[in-house]
């Protein structure tokens, strides 16, 4: 029982949280259409046959405890020993290698679960409003401490002004005006996709020596290989998820993100861990006409051809 006398609702984790359900019910009853779009975005979606029907949100707070490890492929006495001169370090182990634990695969699975759940709950709200899509979606991640993280998806639901409607609303990070350009050129947003990869590389002898070059500017080849492998794997995972939606391509929301930190595994054994993620809007083509839209005229005459001719005659 709350202080105001209202009874608190117990939620079992399925469907929308009670507060979200109440927000959707209020929006349906009031008929007020909220929107996060600015004037250019609102005009953009209107120009391509959609109208905003409401602000929608999906979130999940997830505790990420067990992250996995699976090792870096190096063990004492094997090639790539931290102090063995002339040895070669094992290659970077990534979460996309297919192994159950490799490259912190359980941690990556938890990240996917967080993002997918937030987007799915946002879509549940959109469907409740009768929407055909959600535009200008922002995805944010907040660390709440003690291993808890909030994954949040926020956007504006839109509905087609025509007679055809979708069974599953599309999602896109594109602003309304950018979506209009996409639609007018024969493409349609399909879904937001995220590609994530975590990679691990052992700090072998050459990597350690490169960092102790007494002030010389040298490439740390081990770390170059690590970040390159992780970025490439994140793009592969992105392409795999784009194909899952049957899309023909994707528009990156921002440059591929990257972070890297040191992991002290044990005495004489340090690894470096890199995490990379790519966020994009998958798109499909619905019109393959080769004709281009007319080129706009930069300077327009104030009078018609008859006015010009009369001026010439008067002279």
Say which CATH number the domain at 151 has: 3.30.110.70
pLDDT-derived band at 82 (thresholds 50, 70, 90) equals very low
Tokens representing 303 are 């009078």
Q: What is the pLDDT of residue 314?
A: 45
Q: Is residue 1 situated within a structural domain?
A: no
The pLDDT tens digits of the residues spanning 134-177 come to: 999 999 999 998 889 999 999 999 999 888 788 889 999 999 99
Q: Which has more confidence, 23 or 282?
A: 282
Q: Which domain holds residue 130?
A: 35-286
Q: What is the pLDDT of residue 65?
A: 85
Q: What is the pLDDT of residue 171?
A: 95
* Chain centre to alpha carbon of residue 306: 56
Which of these ranges, 88-92, 211-215, 223-227, has the smallest mean pLDDT? 88-92
Q: Which has more confidence, 100 or 160?
A: 160
Q: Is residue 112 situated within a structural domain?
A: yes
In terms of residues, how long is the chain?
315
| Domain total in the chain | 1
pLDDT-derived band at 215 (thresholds 50, 70, 90) equals low
Q: Is residue 224 situated within a structural domain?
A: yes
Q: Is residue 109 situated within a structural domain?
A: yes
* Predicted model pTM: 0.78
Q: Is residue 292 situated within a structural domain?
A: no
Percent of the chain with pLDDT strictly greater than 70 = 79
Q: Is residue 12 situated within a structural domain?
A: no
The pLDDT tens digits of the residues spanning 223-271 come to: 888 899 999 999 999 999 999 988 999 999 888 999 998 888 777 778 8
The CA distances from residue 34 to 26, 40, 99, 144, 218, in Å, are 12, 16, 46, 28, 55
Interval 286-301 mean pLDDT: 56
Q: What is the pLDDT of residue 257?
A: 92
Q: What is the pLDDT of residue 112?
A: 94
Q: Is residue 305 situated within a structural domain?
A: no
Which of these ranges, 18-27, 123-132, 148-157, 294-303, has the smallest mean pLDDT? 294-303
Residue 307, pLDDT > 60, answer: no
Q: Is residue 15 situated within a structural domain?
A: no
């Amino acid at each position: 029982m709350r202080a105001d006398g209202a009874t608190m609702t117990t939620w079992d984790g399925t469907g929308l949280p009670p507060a979200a359900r109440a927000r959707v019910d209020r929006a349906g009853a009031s008929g007020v259409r909220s929107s996060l779009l600015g004037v250019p975005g609102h005009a953009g979606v209107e120009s391509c046959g959609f109208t905003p029907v409401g602000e929608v949100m999906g979130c999940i707070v997830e505790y990420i405890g067990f992250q996995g490890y699976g090792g870096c492929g190096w063990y004492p006495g094997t090639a790539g020993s931290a102090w063995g001169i002339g040895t070669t370090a094992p290659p970077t182990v990534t979460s996309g290698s297919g192994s159950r634990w490799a490259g912190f695969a359980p941690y990556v699975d938890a990240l996917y679960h967080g993002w997918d759940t937030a987007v799915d709950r946002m879509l549940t709200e959109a469907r409740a409003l009768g929407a055909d899509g959600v535009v200008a979606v922002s995805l944010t991640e907040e660390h709440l401490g003690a291993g808890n993280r909030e994954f949040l998806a926020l956007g504006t639901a839109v509905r087609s002004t025509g007679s055809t409607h979708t069974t599953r609303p599309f999602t896109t990070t594109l602003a309304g005006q950018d979506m209009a350009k996409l639609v007018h050129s024969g493409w349609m947003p399909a879904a937001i996709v995220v590609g994530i990869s975590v990679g691990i590389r052992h700090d072998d002898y050459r990597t350690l020596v490169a960092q102790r070059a007494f002030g010389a500017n040298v490439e740390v080849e081990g770390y170059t290989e690590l970040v390159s492998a992780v970025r490439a794997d994140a793009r592969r995972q992105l392409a795999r998820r784009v194909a899952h939606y049957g899309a023909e391509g994707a528009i990156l929301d921002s440059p591929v993100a990257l972070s890297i930190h040191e992991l002290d595994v044990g005495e004489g054994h340090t690894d470096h861990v890199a995490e990379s993620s790519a966020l994009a809007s998958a798109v499909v083509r619905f019109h393959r006409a080769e004709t281009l839209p007319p080129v706009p005229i930069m300077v327009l005459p104030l009078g018609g051809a008859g006015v010009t001719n009369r001026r010439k005659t008067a002279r």
